Amino acid sequence: MAKILIVDDEPHIRLLLEQTLEELEDEGVELFIAANGEEGLATIRRERPEFVLLDVMMPKMNGFEVCHKVKSELGMKNVYVVMLTAKGQSFDKQKGEEVGADVYMTKPFNPDEVVKKAREVLNL
């Protein structure tokens, strides 16, 4: 069963992403939610999701730190990480690439693009 993890400290963004992606549950995808970076990293370690939507600015541990730990320290190169952020400057995108993010999307994002990317990555 494919797994998707949503990591964002803003409840309305988590809810929007959850509602956007819940149609994939009918196709055998399991959704997980985390409210901060530490919780997200713990969920990644425990559940090993294939697709992670990761906010950049969060308490306890930011998205860059989580992505770096997942890709470099844990060596989980097969986890597809989409960084979601309100910061669209080229510096931020470069930082995302440096820590191993696969895609960098700025908020507000198009929910259809998120579903399309998830389907593509999970071969649905």
pLDDT of 69-116, one tens digit each? Answer: 999 989 999 999 999 887 667 777 788 889 999 999 888 889 899 999
Quote the CA–CA distance of 7 and 31 in Å, as a whole number: 11
pLDDT at 63: 95
Q: What CATH number belongs to 2-122?
A: 3.40.50.2300
- pTM (2 decimals)? 0.94
Quote the CA–CA distance of 50 and 106 in Å, as a whole number: 21
Tell me the average pLDDT of the chain: 93
Of 56, 62, 51, residue with least CA distance to 6: 51
Quote the CA–CA distance of 103 and 97 in Å, as a whole number: 8
- DSSP-assigned letter for residue 42: H
